[in-house]
A and B are shown apart, each in its own frame.
Chain A
Amino acid sequence: MVENRPFRDFMAYLTLIIGVVLVAFPVYLAIMASTFDTATIINGNMPLIPGDQTLENYSRALFYGGKTAREPVIGMMINSMIVAMGIAFGKILISILSAYAVVYFRFPFRRTAFWVIFITLMLPVEVRIYPTYKIVADLGLLDTYSGLILPLIASATGTLLFRQFFMTIPEELLEASKIDGAGAFRFFKDTLLPLSMTTIAALFVIQFIYGWNQYLWPLLITTKSSMQTIVIGIKKMITTTDALTEWNIAMTTAVLAMVPPVLVVIFMQRLFVKGLVETEK
């Protein structure tokens, strides 16, 4: 183009570098805070270079927990991991099966079934929390992994994503499989499933992050501290008006809470972007 490229590129780099700094700075501070003792942070002069309490803080947070919430973070991380994995795999399983049924079969009430699932897109769990809580309580699922997982997979996003993908698969594939004598099960296992791997992985990334980051639902239905997830656990560590907050342990926990989902996004960036753009549009 006609403009002076070096200047244009310089401005672009400058803007992007400022952007990266703005995005990273809060996290940088949290990482620094996780390397000091409580007193250094409380006096308000925390240096911007690492301290010497790193090992101490991480081992204490992981295996002993904070002063106000004496629950080891390792337990919370395991709970978060189970919930995130449960939501990701649960959602993939139920939605790939239902999308297969809707796309590749003709059965009574097929359209009705599709609409019944489709409508769930409109209502996030937040607006029906108390009635959902009541049902989960009546089923005896409070403080259980099923209670944490099942209500959060009741939505249509996965089904729509797989349906969209199946619609792009050429019909000749099914016809060829049928000529080869494959039944519904063989076609699913040998043809459809291998073709869907990218979509499955993309949906996995999105659902894992969604599950790991849940807040309101676990807050409501977990009463036992042993069932706590890490995102909830950290809130109990910061009593913002209290001078005794162990900010070093709270920030250590925040760093630990960010590691798994951020790694997933960084390492599976391509799939994550694909899944995101396709589920939303």
Chain B
Amino acid sequence: MEKRAHFSGWTLPLLLIVPQMAITVIFFYLPASQAIWQSFLREDAFGLTSEFVGFENYSAVFEQPEYYRAMVTTVIFSTLVAFFSLAVALLFATQADKSLRGGHGFKTLLIWPYAVAPAIAGVLWMFMFHPTLGTLGRPLNLMGFNWNPMLDGKDAMILLVLSATWKHVSYNFLFFLAGLQAIPKSVIEAGAIDGAGPMRRFWTIIFPLLSPTTFFLLVVTIVYVFFETFGIIDAVTGGGPAGTTTTLVYKVYADGRSGGDLGLSAAQSVVLMVIVIALTAIQFRYVERKVQY
């Protein structure tokens, strides 16, 4: 871990590290600690005075029916996006891994949605599935499906899942492909010689060897659905209709902006931080196991 050879003196290294430290302290530690501190305070309506109220904000958060609703929405949303984006990416990756002519071209054609902003992805899908003018949304209604993501919560959720999955498949595809290429071909050939067919080889040899990658991608995808899909939700549904697509992160934003109750919003942020830290910790345990120093 440590380098034997190094430079001596300590003023220069301190100077080198100062810019990063300053930015980290000002824009990370200060606001993060403020969020925690605020979660224990209650401010009056004008924000002039505040008193320490202990865990009252937290109990208030957990008493809100809307909070549980947002929690359920978040769980449904992340489960669906995680399942579809992992499954589709794995399918494409296994096909692209076969030594095909033009394999590299397919890779390029499949990865570029990574570069599209989540909000733009949402807008594209909104346009395609617009109930009255969308190329796919209008036929749905003509066929009598009564499709309208602006009024129907279920339709809105379907639209969000589709656009969030579309945007994230490319990412999972890249990692699955890298994972597949790291599996020694001799292992798979040995399976073939033993008479295992392609499906059997996939489920008994390839898939178990890919499980670390799958697990890593599962965690990353959940974090993606939590945070990066904010742009999709805000641009496409704004948390509606009637709060049906309000996730935990969207609620922190909406409560802080409209309600002006910073204590409540801060308490929600802290709960989220705990969830994310737990997810990150899991991810690091995995990295520790995988990387051999």
Contact = CB atoms under 8 A, between A and B. Distances in A.
Interface of A: 1-3, 8-9, 11-13, 15-16, 19-20, 22-27, 29-30, 33, 41-44, 46, 48, 93-95, 97-98, 100-108, 110, 113, 116-117, 120-124, 126-132, 134-136, 139, 150-151, 153-155, 159, 167, 171, 174-175, 178, 183-184, 187, 209, 212-216, 219, 231-232, 234-235, 238, 240-241, 247, 250-251, 254, 257-258, 261-262, 264-266, 269, 273, 276-277, 280-281
B123 A105 contact: no
B5 interface: yes
Contacts, number: 301
A238 B216 CA distance: 36
A195 B123 CA distance: 41
The secondary structure that dominates the A interface is helix
B28 A29 contact: no
Contacts of A120: 24, 28
A281 B10 contact: no
A97 B17 contact: yes
A42 B106 contact: no
Given A12-B98, A126-B227, A235-B119, 12 more contacts: A9-B100, A100-B16, A101-B17, A105-B7, A116-B24, A117-B20, A127-B252, A135-B26, A232-B119, A234-B123, A238-B235, A250-B127
B114 A2 contact: no
Interface of B is mostly: helix
* Size range of the chain B interface in the assembly: 35 or more
B48 interface: no
Interface stretch (B53-61, B71-79, B202-210, B272-280): B272-280
- Please name the 7 residue pairs, one residue from A and one from B, whose CB atoms are nearest each other, closest first: A215-B231, A131-B31, A213-B117, A107-B10, A105-B13, A261-B115, A131-B34
A13 B100 contact: yes
Given A124-B276, A126-B249, A231-B120, A19 B19 contact: no
Contacts of B13: 101-102, 104-105, 107, 110
A108 B230 CA distance: 41
B32 interface: yes
Contacts of A41: 133
7 contacts: A26-B166, A33-B127, A130-B262, A154-B28, A159-B20, A215-B235, A216-B253
A126 B133 contact: no
B192 A250 contact: no
Contacts of A136: 27
B31 A97 contact: no
B170 interface: yes
A221 B220 CA distance: 27
A141 to B, nearest CB: 10
B235 A93 contact: no
B20 A104 contact: no
B164 interface: no
A250 B256 contact: no
B184 interface: no
Best-buried of B34, B120, B171 by chain A (most CB within 10 Å) = B120
